[in-house]
Amino acid sequence: MPSDGVGRVCSTMNKNLLGATTSLGRSHLFVAAILSAGIVMSAPGFAVAQAQSKNENLLQTREGPELAQADTGPARLQAGQHRFDIEAQSLSSALVVFSRISGVDVVFDGVLPDGATSAGVNGDMTAASALDILLRQSGLAWSVINQSTISIANPQQDNAQSSANITEPITVTAAIRNLGPNGVPDEVYETPGSIAVITQESMRKAPVREVRDIFNNVAGVDVSNDARDPGLTVNVRGQQEMGRVNVNIDGARQNYNQLTHGTTSRVYIDPALLAEVEIEKSNLTQNGGAGSSAGIVTMRTLNTQDILDDDEDWGGKVNISHGNNSYDFAGDTSVGARVSPKFDVSAAVSRKVIGNYGPGSHNPGLFTTGNGKYYDRDSSRPEYTFLRQTSGLLKANVYLSEDQELNLGYVGSMSNYAKTNDVTNLYNDFNETQVHTLTAKHNWDPESDLINLNTGMYWTRTNNHQFRPARYTTSGTVSTSSFDNDYTLDTFGADIANKSNFVLDPVFDGTSELSFDYGTELFQDKAKTTSELGDEGGYGAAYQVEGSTPGGRRDVYGAYLTTTYGWNDLFTIHGGLRADRYSLTGDTFWCETQASSGNLCEDGGTPLDIDLSENKVSPSFGASITPFNGIQFYANYRENLRAPTVQEALLGGDHIGNVGVPFYSNANLKAEESKTSEVGVNLKFNDVLRKGDGFRAKASYYRSTIDNYTTIAYVPQPTLSGTTTFPVINTTPKQAAAIVNLTDPVYINGTELELSYDADRYYLGGTFTLNDMDLAGNYNPYVLDTAYSQYGNQTYINIIPLNQITISDPIYGGSDQLYGIYSMPKRKITLDGGFRFWDRDLLMGMRATFVTPQDNFGSSKGSSIVGQYFKYRVFDFYSAYQVNDHVTLRFAVTNMLDEAYVQGSGGTYAPAPGRTAILSLSGNF
């Protein structure tokens, strides 16, 4: 298990210890200079060695059951005393604690004896003295490899072996360092591409009101929806909605869409059930990349290994939180049991109760609409609805054999909440959303380089029962009757993937390796919407709801092959192909709103069958080079096909409330085709400013070009309205809305930076995101395969007696008629720093976020569309005190300055919660 970023424990085999850690020279000095400018404090370090020098002879002073240890010979342990407080426990666990405190890495020959326990160690002493006490009753001997690494062996096991055949370390899990403010694992900084990990440490640091909050410190990622809706809409590098980002729970896609004035795509998950979130922004040539274009967000939920320690057969964890600003209650319990070596189970349940929160009071300005109207925290309504959420999971792992395992899981949630969808936040809709996800996975990893086979199946159902109350005019009459709606989406999926590795003959005395990753996946979406209209006497019809979030079926298939060649840990090169295909079918209709058309919506309109399909083979390739230990440069390129969703292709009917704007399906809708390139660098250094510290950084620059970008826009109705009689003819198009493809490419480019420095007693980290989107694009406004009037897109005036004719420029088809385009902020900076006291029992830290939104969200004329969000800043405080091994107290204050702000990503109108203080109690048993 990870040693909290402090030291490591390694297993060894009967081979020579390989090592070659060299000085990093100028690269070390470069990083040190950067850090010295911002960190001027000192603290005792913790040591982590990387590859080490050759093994020294095993030294021992005597034999016997209480074998004394020796710190003699040419290599000596680093000097200095440490404060040790290690209880008697299993020897493996005690060595991890010893490594963390002393900074000394531990490798051992073979396997520790079954049931081996340590003696207790308490007091100030050297690492050598602590080892002598720790191993007093074990019969094991330790030797010095270098000043920060020791080897442990059982001399009774094989005295015939020479000391030259003792130890080549095989690094186990404990060797992974999780440094910085959020404990990000080192694999992130060793991957030649843009990937991010949100750890459980990060998620538990400060209780969150909504799952969107856990993404705040990730470079290149933003969340568009606001705190009133527990649904999650993830924006990766400027792209979101409609499957551009594959957001999944344990590999099961969450494809739910529901048309509103805000974001359309939503994923429902309780953060209390999450163990880790991985965000892949580079490699889509893998399962999970079918139908997507921007990234893969995998939310892994709790399993047995997340609940139990390695030496536990059963146990559990409990978390309870309460705060002000209507943070009434949040609590969760998780339990696990290793029933036998072949079977383990785990379960968790969570409950959250949140009331109508208040927004911040400082800097109350929020945004202006497309027509320039200003909104602040008061004019956008100061009460922001409630949430009642119950969630749970059940997992079972069956170890069929030494090389096969079966993982079964269920994750579910039910959320009751109220929210508004209009710019003034006047009208509440009441929702009960249920999500059920079933997964089954099988892994076969025999002792063969050719096989590491993973297969999986899943089913997800998202159902939202929404009651939309009747709406009234200022005079008290009913303007729109109530609606009772059911939105349902079922997604079925399956995938299979394998990896084959080959070790080739040496090239220029360097090791050559070749690997093949290949697999296939498929999934199917089935959507259905039903609606019942109340009898209050206002406007409304069931087809208005059923057409705006339509039913239909989508099938998506994908297959991929990637070949990777690596030489001597110096460079790698990879190339891949993925083949994608989709088909989408459904029945809809189109209609008009003027009587002269003879095709009124209330009369059923004109039937329209949609049958779309498309396929594409997309290449990808990239390379990385590691010229110095700790520095890796990389470059990647990929192409992708993004399949349209059921909602995009089958949108139809009429806008609710008899506003005279019908929705048109686009029978010629095309899939998006994107090209993305990036260059980046990973930095990973230890012992930069002091022994045992660590510096990690990841930086990248990316550019994306998207053809056939899909969004919603205003379009004309086929029949004109106006006067057509002598002596004046005056006609103008009637407005409708449709999903369209832009005829101009959309360009996105940006820079991402993530860095952290950890010196045990203190740490500092942060992210920087710079994103720019060119959303100015034209589109074909004639989306219907029917005859349009001659001046269907222009205003036409003819004063017949004077023979005076005026014809306007085209009204629809330009970027000023677009809406529903969402973009991550133009600039976002986050900082996170803190201190660890009392042997890491007390943690205190602060986070800061500075956001400058984009200034282009589509239409610049629509009165109900945001034209400009205002920039904002947010400061949070968090702390944790570990009372003992079983109890931890946490206290956090979010939005300390009580700032009023709206997350500026488009489609969001309500301000975020104001200052909120939360106290949490966590325990394990």
Other CB atoms within 10 Å distance of the CB of residue 623: 16
C-alpha R_g of the chain:
31
Q: Is the pTM of this model over 0.85?
A: no
Residue at 925: amino acid letter: F
**Within its chain, how far is the Cα of 186 from the centroid?**
18
Close Cβ partners of 160 (under 8 Å, ≥ 6 residues apart): none
Exposure letters 814-853 (e unless 16+ CB within 10 A, then b):
bbbbbbbbbbbbbbbbbbbbbebeeebeebebebebbbbb
CA proximity to 876, closest of 843, 919, 847, 844: 847
Tokens of 490: 């079922």
pLDDT at residue 864, rounded to an integer: 66
SS3 276: strand
CA pair distance 918, 199, nearest whole angstrom:
20
Cα distance between residue 541 and residue 469, in whole Å: 14
Q: What is the Cβ-side half-sphere exposure of residue 278, based on CA atoms within 13 angstroms? A: 15
* Helix/strand/coil for 632: strand
Q: Which residue has the tokens 């017949």?
A: 800
Closest CA to 589 of 579, 599, 577, 597: 599
- 921 exposed, middle or buried (CB, 10 Å; 0-12, 13-18, 19+)? middle
Residue 731 belongs to what H/E stretch?
Answer: strand 728-732
Find out whether 546 and 482 touch, Cβ atoms under 8 Å: no
Beta bridge partners of 637: 621, 677
Tokens of 162: 């020479």
**What is the enclosing helix (H) or strand (E) of 204?**
helix 200-205
Which residues are CB-contacts of 588 (< 8 A; sequence separation ≥ 6)?
547, 550, 607, 608, 609, 610, 650, 651, 652, 653, 665
For tokens 């079922």, name the residue. Answer: 490
Q: Tell how strand 672-686 and strand 694-707 pair up.
A: antiparallel
- Can you spell out the DSSP letters for 524-568? EEEEEEEEEE--SSSB--HHHHHHHS--EEEEEEEEEEEEEEEET
Q: What is the predicted pLDDT for the residue at 362?
A: 92
170: tokens are 């095989």
Question: Which amino acid type is present at position 237?
Answer: R
Q: How far apart (Å, rounded) are the C-alpha atoms in residues 155 and 142?
A: 10
Query: How high is the pLDDT of residue 915?
Result: 95
Question: Mean pLDDT for each 10-residue chunk of the chain (925 residues)?
Answer: 42 36 38 37 32 34 40 59 80 82 76 76 84 83 79 66 44 51 88 93 84 90 80 90 93 92 86 95 95 94 93 93 94 96 96 91 85 82 82 97 95 92 78 97 93 97 95 89 95 97 86 95 96 90 90 96 93 96 94 88 90 95 94 97 93 85 91 96 93 93 96 91 77 91 93 94 94 86 91 85 84 84 85 92 94 69 72 94 93 95 75 93 93
Neighbours of 789 (CB within 10 A): 16
Query: What's the chain's length in residues?
Result: 925
Give the span between the Cα atoms of 260 and 822, in whole angstroms.
14
**CA 205 to CA 356: how far, in whole Å?**
24
Contact at 8 Å (CB) between 749 and 675?
no
Note if the bond before 727 is cis, omega within 30 degrees. Answer: yes
Distance CA 359, CA 369 (A): 20
- Predicted confidence at residue 763, as pLDDT, reads 94
For 645, counting Cβ atoms within 10 Å of its Cβ (0-12 exposed, 13-18 middle, 19+ buried), the class is buried
Per-residue pLDDT at 837:
92
List the one residue out of 318, 384, 386, 316 whose CA is nearest residue 352.
Answer: 386
* Structural tokens at position 28: 């070390």
Q: For position 177, what pLDDT does the model report?
A: 59
**Which residue's entry shows tokens 């369209």?**
740
Task: Mention every residue, 6+ apart, whose C-beta is less than 8 A from residue 263.
Answer: 224, 225, 231, 233, 240, 241, 822, 906, 907, 908
Task: State the pLDDT at residue 316.
Answer: 95
Structure tokens at 783: 């989306």
Q: What tokens appear for 230 in the block?
A: 């527990």
Residue with token string 């083949």: 579
Give the H/E segment covering residue 96.
Answer: helix 91-102
Per the rule left: phi > 0, alpha: psi between -120 and 50, beta: everything else, 687 is: left
Q: What is the pLDDT of residue 741?
A: 95
